[in-house]
Amino acid sequence: MTYRQKTFTLLTCLMCLVSCGGRTKKTDAPDSIPMQPCPTFESANAMQYIRKQCAFGPRVPGTEAWRICGDSIVAWFSALGLPTEEQRLNVTAYDGTVLPCRNIMAHLNPESPKRILLCTHWDSRPWADNDEDEKNHHTPVPAANDGASGVALMLELARLMSPDTTFTIGIDFVCFDVEDYGQPQWDETFRENEESGWCLGSKAWATQAAQEGYTARFGILFDMVGGRGSTFAKERISAYYAGPVVEKLWHTAQQIGYGHFFPQSDGGSIVDDHLNVNQIAQIPCIDIIPYHKSGPSSFGPTWHTIDDTPDNIDPDVLEAVGQSVLQLIYNYNGI
């Protein structure tokens, strides 16, 4: 997850969302959405994928752990029967370092003209620069939540949808690389160039997607979707570019019993991979990202620390996100 969290004046002026109390049980309100039958998200399977990724070590671009994990992600999607492809290129980091970038794509029902984009990043931050202990600031982040959780959630969604012959809409799963190589806080020029170097893989993917004319009904970005104590407010850039998708997902989560995790409240404006998808690829894309009102970071206590480990992942949070998104997608199936 990127470090940026700002409220843009333009968005604040153009956007006004109504907030109300989140629900904690299933509801059949007058404005309820008809729920189509869909599979049950198994958080235990997602947890296994998180542990497997973390077992390789931090997936910092260019390292052996990064190479092995990238190969494994391709193999995992392929084992589910999904055709895969990769976008490989070099990108330049904030400090001029040339990094290998490997965006990984898998496709469900590739022949369908009706498509939905699901995406996340799979790389690990090279520095735990938000750790309370300065001795850890140059240590790579284990990235169980900030990276591995999104990949794991998408793999479980793919496992559930791929054998379902009634599911006809196309899904494109994209794992962005080099998202988290942005300028570290300990860099002496940090405050001057604090947005430098983030989301480089999604920028390359979105540029190519726009050139090739790729379209999707909407996109959903998963960023840190398993941390303990996480809830997901409505991120403001998401609401600006893809407001109807935000409202449908949050409403769906409330109806099926996960309103506590998706409160009817506004979060911040996050410069994340979804910004490139919206602005460059011009696909309306939302960001499911935690919003903690207290603590050392609004992204949660383990964000960019050495404590971002599988032990600090909550299967219930994974389930809430996975089942809500699964239900949303099944409601779109066949429309």
* Through-space distance between the first and last CA atoms of the chain, rounded to whole angstroms: 33
pLDDT greater than 50 at residue 239:
yes
Confidence band, pLDDT 50/70/90 cuts, at residue 137: very high
* pLDDT tens per residue, range 206-237: 999 999 999 999 999 999 999 999 999 999 99
Residue 69, both tokens: 């994990």
User: Strands (DSSP E) along the chain, which ranges?
Assistant: 84-92, 98-108, 115-121, 170-176, 219-222, 285-288
HSE at residue 161, side-chain half, CA atoms within 13 A, is: 29
pLDDT greater than 70 at residue 334:
no
If one compares 84 and 19, the residue with the highest pLDDT of the two is 84
If one compares 1 and 268, the residue with the highest pLDDT of the two is 268
pLDDT at 296: 78
Q: How far is CA 198 from the centre of its chain?
A: 14
pLDDT at 19: 32
Q: Average pLDDT, stretch 241-247? A: 97
Give the lowest-confidence range in 3-12, 36-45, 184-193, 194-203. Answer: 3-12
CA dihedral 38, 215, 276, 143 (to 10 degrees): 30
pLDDT at 187: 83
Whole-angstrom distance, CA of residue 229 vs CA of residue 234 = 17
Confidence band, pLDDT 50/70/90 cuts, at residue 3: very low
Q: What is the pLDDT of the chain when averaged over all its residues?
A: 90
8 A C-beta contact, residue 65 and residue 126:
no
23-29: Cβ within 8 A, 24+ apart: 23/254, 23/259, 23/260, 24/257, 24/259, 24/260, 25/257, 25/259, 26/255, 26/256, 26/257, 27/254, 27/255, 27/259, 28/255, 29/255
pLDDT greater than 60 at residue 152:
yes
Whole-angstrom distance, CA of residue 153 vs CA of residue 140 = 23
pLDDT greater than 50 at residue 18:
no
Q: Give the percent of the chain with pLDDT over 70.
A: 88
pLDDT at 33: 81
Give the lowest-confidence range in 10-24, 32-46, 109-123, 300-314. Answer: 10-24
pLDDT greater than 80 at residue 9:
no
Whole-angstrom distance, CA of residue 300 vs CA of residue 291 = 7
pLDDT greater than 90 at residue 192:
no
pLDDT greater than 80 at residue 1:
no
Domains observed in the chain: 22-184+194-332 (3.40.630.10)
Q: Average pLDDT, stretch 28-55? A: 90
Whole-angstrom distance, CA of residue 91 vs CA of residue 88 = 10
8 A C-beta contact, residue 122 and residue 202:
no
pLDDT at 191: 55
Angle, CA of 68, 227 and 145, to the nearest 5°: 15
